[in-house]
Amino acid sequence: MGGNVATVPMGEGSGALPPRANLICFGASAAASAAVSFALGLSPFVWLVVTGAFTLASISIWSMMVEGRRRALDRVATIVIAEIFVLALVPLLSLVYTVVNEGLARFDSEFLTTSMRNVLGDGGGALHAALGTFIITAIATAAAVPVGILAAIYLVEYGKGRLKRAITFFVDVMMGIPSIVAGLFAYALFEIFFGPGIRLGVMGSVALMVLMIPIVIRATEEMLQVVPNALREASFALGVPKWLTILRVVLPTALAGIVTGVMLAIARVIGETAPLLVTTGSIDSVNLDPFNGRMANLPVFVYEQYKFPGVPPEAYIERAWAGALLLILIVMVLFLAARLIARRYGVEIRR
pLDDT tens for each residue of 70-116 = 888 888 888 888 888 888 888 888 888 899 999 998 888 888 998 88
- Mean pLDDT, the chain, rounded, equals 86
Going by C-beta distance under 8 Å and a sequence separation of 6 or more, which residues neighbour residue 167? 151, 154, 155, 159
Q: Any idea which fold 112-345 has?
A: MetI-like fold (1.10.3720)
pLDDT tens for each residue of 229-265 = 898 999 999 989 999 999 999 998 888 888 888 888 8
Domain ranges of the chain: 21-103, 112-345
CA nearest neighbour of 256 among 212, 226, 213: 226
pLDDT band at 203 (very low <50, low <70, confident <90, very high): very high
| Cα distances (angstroms) measured from residue 107 to each of 12, 54, 101, 119, 124 | 59, 41, 10, 17, 11
Going by C-beta distance under 8 Å and a sequence separation of 6 or more, which residues neighbour residue 2? none
Per-residue confidence (pLDDT) for residue 33, from 0 to 100: 84
DSSP 115-139: --TT--SS---SHHHHHHHHHHHHH
* pTM confidence score: 0.80
Per-residue confidence (pLDDT) for residue 12, from 0 to 100: 54
Q: Does the structure show a pLDDT above 90 at 37?
A: no
Q: If you average pLDDT over residues 175-184, what whole number do you get?
A: 90
Q: If you average pLDDT over residues 41-61, what whole number do you get?
A: 82
Q: Does the structure show a pLDDT above 90 at 189?
A: yes
Q: Does the structure show a pLDDT above 90 at 23?
A: no
